[in-house]
Structure 1
């Protein structure tokens, strides 16, 4: 499923946060948004998945007009994994993941053997089989994030948005979550802070600065010393990591 967002504009009060941004994610492409804190990445994503309303713009998943479609219809195609997933009531991990089936259910429709099979597969993909009877509230931040990913996988989305899902996690959980999403082979649009992660997992990047697209292209085209300095106001050298054979970065002031 392709995602096309055209001419997106978002204002909060009188301040323009997102300024005429257009993004294209091709079928099965993993596309990253990079840029400093406050540049508008998360706001752009929220306007795409309708958490906030843009003042202007269009969003399409193939022929589905996202901004004009009901939430349930969108949720049958689009899954979202955000940065913070706190809740004040307790469910088991299995119950949390089963909530991912909600967009596919009619009102008061019971869960079926088919639903339970999908949930078991989602738990397996995220290495959570041994956690299914655990309390969600008892889990660490990284474990909770894997549960949210499993719940999203149980939706069986054809496209996924990652709204800074690994920002507060240690390196192990970052790799687990991004690797799991990559293996789904669906279209993905992700806001990422870690440039090495962006270089490793993304097929294409959009660099955001002051609410606008500053640069876009492959990781090799975008993650240059000049662009990194323009985005983050920091000196940087890039080199090929001998372990991963991908881009790595050395920073200085």
Structure 2
């Protein structure tokens, strides 16, 4: 399943945040959006999954027109894991994950044996089986994010968007979340803050600066010292991580 977002422009008030950006995710590709805080990458992502209404542009998931389709129809194909997932009411972990089945059910339809089977599988994939009776509000930030990922997996999406899902998590939970998503074997578009994580997990990158796609290509092509200095305004030396084999970075002002 291929995602194509073309000519995306997002204006908030009188200010244009995203200027004619285009991104493409090929079938089963893990694609990252990188860039400094405030560059427009999260705004671009939100316009792709319809959390924000773009001023212009188009988003196609194979032959499904995302911007012109119903939320339910989109949710049957596309899942989203965001950065903040706070709630003001409590559910068990299992109940939270079961919400992922909503796009596939009729209004007020009871949970079916198949739904429960899918939820059990999502809990297993995210290592949450032993948490199923726990209160969601009692969990740590990293545990909550795994529950949200399990809920999204229970949707059985054919494509997933990650909107900076690891920004506030420690390194262990970052690895758990991204490794789990990578192993799903579906197309992924992710806004990522950590360049080493982006280099390790992504097949292809789009670098955003001032609301414009500044560069795109493989991690090796995009994450050069020259590009990093232009985008992030820091000097950088790249090297090969001896553990992962992917790019590593040393920064200085």
The TM tier, using the shorter chain, reads: over 0.9
Q: Deviations over 1:27-78 (max 9, x none)?
A: 0000000000000011001100001100000000000000000000000000
Residue of structure 2 equivalent to 1:147: 147
Between the aligned partners of 2:29 and 2:95, the Cα distance in structure 1 is 31
How far has the Cα of 1:102 moved from its partner?
0.2
What aligned pairs does 1:1-253 form with structure 2 within 5 A after superposition? 1-253=1-253
Between the aligned partners of 1:235 and 1:201, the Cα distance in structure 2 is 23
How far has the Cα of 1:242 moved from its partner?
1.1
- Shift >3 Å, 4+ stretches: none
How far has the Cα of 1:108 moved from its partner?
1.5
Partner SS, residue 51 of structure 1: coil
What's the Cα RMSD here?
Answer: 0.4
Between the aligned partners of 1:94 and 1:203, the Cα distance in structure 2 is 33
Q: Deviations over 1:89-140 (max 9, x none)?
A: 0000000000000000011211111000000000000000110000000000
Q: How many residues align?
A: 253
Between the aligned partners of 1:108 and 1:191, the Cα distance in structure 2 is 34
Runs of at least 5 residues in structure 1 that lack an aligned partner in the other structure: none
How far has the Cα of 1:245 moved from its partner?
1.0
Between the aligned partners of 2:243 and 2:190, the Cα distance in structure 1 is 24
Between the aligned partners of 1:67 and 1:242, the Cα distance in structure 2 is 43
TM-score by length of 1: 1.00
How far has the Cα of 1:232 moved from its partner?
0.6
Between the aligned partners of 2:133 and 2:32, the Cα distance in structure 1 is 34
How far has the Cα of 1:246 moved from its partner?
1.0
Runs of at least 5 residues in structure 2 that lack an aligned partner in the other structure: none
Between the aligned partners of 2:156 and 2:242, the Cα distance in structure 1 is 36
